[in-house]
Amino acid sequence: MNKLILGRYFPGDTSLHKLDPRAKLVSGVAFIFIIFLARNWEAYALLWLFTFLVMKLSGVGFKTYLRGVRPLIWLILFTVFIQVLFRTGGTVYVDYGPITITQFGVVNGIHIFFRFVMIVFVTTAITLTTKPIDLTDGINYLLRPLRIFKIPVNDLALMLSISLRFIPNLLDETQKIMDAQRARGSEFGEGNLLKQMKVLVPVFLPLFVSSLNRAEEMANAMEVRGYQSGEQRTTFRQLTWKNKDTICLFAMIVLTLSLYLLTV
């Protein structure tokens, strides 16, 4: 549990830390979309070069990113496995009963693996170098056009920020509960599936109760501070767009055009 770094913030003074959260959010969303433009190895080489550059600019060690993607590796491999089995075409490598592995399936599985890992690395770099409160301000600003359709933008931004902020807290609390259960003689990861599910029940129940208590405390704190849904509020922190933020978006445009040219 303590190996997941999603939602955690690492203080620093790097160029990526100093970027405006709006520039990082727009660039991150754009990267998730343009990564699907890659269709050949040249395009993936360019994307990997960009990913490693972002990781280097974040000032966080490469081992930290590996530690963050490790808990998700089984989900990624399962997705790759599904792609390899159900995508057909090209040279047939294995044809044994219902199992058929073809060239297109293997290539598509490698593409899916690269895309998942690069998305995890880049989005992790954004969360590691951006304070949760800055993410809230950035999301709130970017969602302003939706106010035309009477969508509660402030509430959506607040919910996203709270969800992202308390992921590390829930993981840390889960780890503490599991350690307490181990001290009482519980053994996790042993026995059959039914036994393992029974062992997890004493973990989920106190975690659920603790989450409800935390939510009630936060609601009371927001009410004491006068928070009201739908009301227009001023912000103490004002976002300032700088030249380096423009350069960041320009770099994403160059990356998109380069991928398009390599693909075509």
pLDDT in tens, 108-142: 888 889 998 999 899 888 888 888 778 878 888 88
Q: How confident is the model at residue 7 (pLDDT cuts 50, 70, 90)?
A: low
pLDDT at 66 (0 to 100): 82
Q: How confident is the model at residue 187 (pLDDT cuts 50, 70, 90)?
A: confident
Q: What is the mean pLDDT of residues 41-64?
A: 89
Residue 1 has pLDDT above 60, yes or no: no
pLDDT at 47 (0 to 100): 93
Residue 237 has pLDDT above 80, yes or no: no
Residue 3 has pLDDT above 70, yes or no: no
pTM: 0.75
Residue 230 has pLDDT above 70, yes or no: no
pLDDT at 89 (0 to 100): 73
Q: What is the mean pLDDT of residues 215-237?
A: 78
Of 85 and 195, the structure prediction assigns the larger pLDDT to 85
Residue 201 has pLDDT above 80, yes or no: no
* Per-chain mean pLDDT for the chain: 82
Residue 148 has pLDDT above 60, yes or no: yes
CB crowding 177-210: b at 16 or more within 10 Å, else e:
bbeebeeeeeeeeeeeeeeeeebeeebeeebeeb
Placement of tokens 């050949």 in the chain: 40
**Runs of H (alpha helix) within the chain:** 21-34, 41-57, 62-69, 73-86, 103-128, 132-142, 153-183, 193-224, 243-263
| Rg of the chain, C-alpha, whole Å | 22
What is the SS3 assignment for 165? Answer: helix
Question: What gap in Å lies between CA 181 and CA 167, rounded to an integer?
Answer: 21
